[in-house]
C-alpha cells in the first residue's frame, strides 16, 4: 500500500471483452449464464461425491477439490466484470486489482497441481491396481491436497507482494476483463526485471513441473494398457482416463494461449479470448466432461435427485 500512495494509483481500468456499448448486454447475458452453469455444475459434482458413499475414493476426492477450486476461480473474475457492465464502469480499485490478481494466481495454480495429482492417482490405479488402496490411502490424499494449497498460497503471496512494490504511472488500462498478472506487470513504469525473472522460473517450476509429471504418468499408463491382452480390458482401463485427459488438454491449451498472448505473440484481442478459455470456459466444461463420461457420477446424480 506504500507504493500506491507514492504513485497516486487508486484504481485501474478493465477494458473488458469489447468496448462497443451495443455488445455489453449480450456479453453480460452470456457471462452470467456461463458463471451460473459453472457454479451449479461444479456444485452438483461436490454434492454427488459427498452424498454417495461409493464415490468416497481418492479419484472423486480430488475431483471434488477441483470442482471447489473452479467455483472459486470463476468467482474471482466474473462477478466484478458483471458489476462493471451493469454499472457502465471499467474501474477496479488498486486493492481490488491486487486481490483479484492474488486469487486468480492461487486458483489457477491449484487447478494445475490438482490435475497433476489426479494423473498420479490414475497411474497408481492402472499400473499398480493390487496396491492402489494402500498407495492412495486417505492420509496421502489429504497430504497431497495440503501440499498443493501450501505451494500455491506461497507462490501467489510472493508474486502479489512483488507487484505491490511496483510503481504505476499514467497508463492504467488493462486490456482484459480481470487483473491478469503479466498484463498488470507490463503497466508498471518502474523496473520489472526481478519480477519477470521470478515469473519465468515460477512458470518453469509450477507449470512445467506438473506438466512433466502428467506426461510421465500417462506414458506409464499407456505402456501398462498396451500390455493388457483383452480389448475389453484396454477399453475399460483407457475409459477411466479419458475424462481427465480431456480436462488436462482443455486446461493446458488455454493456458498456453494465455502465455503466448502475454509474451506478445498474439494480439490483445486474442489474449482476452485465451483468458476467457482459461478462466471461464475450462471451469464450466469440467463438470460436463466428468459427468457425461462417468457412469458413477451420473448414477450418483440420479440418486441425489
Q: In what order do the strands lie in the sheet with 11-14?
A: 91-93, 11-14, 173-174
pLDDT tens track for 32-41: 999 999 999 9
C-alpha cell at 200: 519465468
**Per-residue burial over 23-38, b = 16 or more CB atoms within 10 Å of its CB, e = otherwise:** ebeebeeebbebbebb
pTM: 0.90
Q: Can you say whether residue 92 is alpha, beta or left, with left for phi > 0 and alpha for psi between -120 and 50 degrees?
A: beta
pLDDT tens track for 84-121: 999 999 999 999 999 999 999 999 999 999 999 999 99
pLDDT tens track for 212-271: 999 999 999 988 888 877 777 777 777 778 888 888 888 887 777 666 555 554 556 777
pLDDT tens track for 173-199: 998 899 999 889 989 988 899 999 998
Confidence category of residue 57, pLDDT binned at 50, 70, 90 = very high
* Domains, in order of start, for the chain: 2-304 (1.20.1070.10)
- Total residues belonging to the chain: 305
pLDDT at 91: 94
Amino acid at each position: 500500500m506504500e507504493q500506491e500512495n507514492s504513485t497516486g494509483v487508486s484504481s485501474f481500468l478493465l477494458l473488458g471483452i469489447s468496448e462497443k456499448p451495443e455488445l455489453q448486454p449480450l456479453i453480460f447475458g452470456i457471462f452470467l449464464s456461463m458463471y451460473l452453469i459453472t457454479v451449479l455444475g461444479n456444485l452438483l459434482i461436490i454434492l454427488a461425491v459427498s452424498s454417495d458413499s461409493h464415490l468416497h475414493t481418492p479419484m472423486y476426492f480430488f475431483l471434488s477439490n477441483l470442482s471447489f477450486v473452479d467455483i472459486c476461480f470463476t468467482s474471482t473474475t466474473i462477478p466484478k466484470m458483471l458489476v462493471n457492465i451493469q454499472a457502465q464502469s471499467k474501474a477496479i480499485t488498486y486493492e481490488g486489482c491486487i486481490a483479484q490478481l492474488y486469487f486468480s494466481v492461487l486458483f489457477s495454480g491449484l487447478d494445475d497441481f490438482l490435475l497433476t495429482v489426479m494423473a498420479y492417482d490414475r497411474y497408481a490405479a492402472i499400473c499398480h491396481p493390487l496396491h492402489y488402496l494402500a498407495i492412495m490411502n486417505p492420509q496421502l490424499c489429504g497430504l497431497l491436497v495440503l501440499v498443493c494449497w501450501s505451494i500455491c498460497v506461497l507462490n501467489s503471496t510472493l508474486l502479489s507482494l512483488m507487484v505491490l512494490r511496483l510503481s504505476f504511472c499514467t497508463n492504467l488500462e488493462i486490456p482484459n476483463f480481470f487483473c491478469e498478472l503479466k498484463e498488470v506487470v507490463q503497466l508498471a513504469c518502474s523496473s520489472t526485471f526481478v519480477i519477470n525473472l521470478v515469473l519465468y522460473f515460477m512458470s518453469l517450476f509450477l507449470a512445467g513441473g506438473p506438466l512433466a509429471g502428467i506426461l510421465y504418468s500417462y506414458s506409464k499408463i499407456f505402456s501398462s494398457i498396451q500390455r493388457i491382452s483383452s480389448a475389453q480390458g484396454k477399453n475399460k482401463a483407457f475409459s477411466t482416463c479419458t475424462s481427465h485427459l480431456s480436462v488436462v488438454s482443455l486446461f493446458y491449451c488455454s493456458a498456453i494461449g494465455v502465455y503466448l498472448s502475454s509474451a506478445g505473440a498474439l494480439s490483445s484481442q486474442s489474449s482476452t479470448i485465451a483468458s476467457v478459455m482459461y478462466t471461464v470456459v475450462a471451469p464450466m466444461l469440467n463438470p460436463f466432461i466428468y459427468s457425461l463420461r462417468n457412469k458413477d457420477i451420473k448414477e450418483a446424480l440420479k440418486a441425489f435427485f
